[in-house]
């Protein structure tokens, strides 16, 4: 999505992180290598969402230090993040969230025993410029949830290439089905691309 915005506007797009409960807690530097957490104002933790044990990949937990009117201690954000291990080339030493916010833990799908985040699916779909829009369809097959990715793409070969890219990136085979152009909904604000049938 960033590449499309930057190409369309001829500009660089930078990410930042914030929420009503916390305020703005993170920013992206010129290296665009993830969100730096402003540790002069926030204490950052990443925990395993099931056990609450410290982790490099898991749920973002924040404590704000400078919000007098609404202090929040160890706020579980529900955001899936990964702490970067290597220092940022920009030289900043604040913790960095590699890839920014990777998805929402409450959006996670369990497909044949594998955790799949809609944001991870979107990350693969957006590698294919020929795909205008997509939708993730979740449906029951017996006792298990299955996922089908509907894509507005001109040919079945494009759908096959996407299906292979999803398998390689996510480690699970997801059905990819081409649909006619302009047949999927468009949204003015936040897109709702996960549909349960």
CATH topology for 108-196 is GMP Synthetase; Chain A, domain 3 (3.30.300)
Q: Which residue has the higher pLDDT, 104 or 40?
A: 40
Q: Please, are residues 44 and 79 in contact by the beta-carbon 8 Å criterion?
A: no
The closest of 92, 98, 78, 103 to 35, measured between CA atoms, is 98
Confidence of residue 135 (pLDDT cuts 50, 70, 90): very high
Please state whether the predicted TM-score (pTM) of the whole model is above 0.85.
Answer: no
User: Domains of the chain: which residue ranges?
Assistant: 2-102, 108-196
**Coil vs helix vs strand at 5:** helix
pLDDT band for position 189 (50/70/90)? low
pLDDT band of 153, cuts 50, 70, 90 = confident
The pLDDT of 32-52, averaged and rounded, is 95
CA–chain centroid gap for 166, Å, is 15
């Amino acid at each position: 999505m960033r590449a499309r915005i930057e190409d369309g506007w001829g500009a660089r797009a930078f990410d930042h992180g914030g929420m009503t409960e916390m305020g703005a807690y993170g920013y992206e530097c010129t290296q665009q290598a993830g969100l730096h957490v402003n540790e002069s104002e926030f204490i950052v933790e990443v925990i395993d969402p099931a056990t609450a044990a410290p982790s490099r990949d898991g749920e973002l937990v924040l404590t704000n230090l400078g919000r007098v009117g609404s202090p929040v201690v160890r706020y579980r954000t529900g955001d899936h993040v990964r702490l970067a291990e290597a220092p940022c080339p920009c030289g900043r030493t604040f913790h960095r969230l590699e890839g920014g916010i990777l998805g929402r833990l409450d959006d996670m799908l369990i497909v044949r025993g594998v955790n799949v985040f809609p944001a991870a699916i979107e990350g693969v779909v957006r590698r294919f410029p020929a795909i205008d829009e997509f939708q993730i369809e979740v449906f029951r097959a017996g006792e298990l949830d299955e996922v089908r990715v509907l894509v507005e793409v001109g040919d079945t070969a494009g759908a096959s290439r996407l299906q292979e890219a999803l398998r390689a990136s996510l480690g699970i085979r997801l059905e990819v089905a081409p649909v006619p152009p302009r047949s999927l909904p468009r949204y003015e604000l936040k897109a709702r691309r996960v549909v349960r049938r």
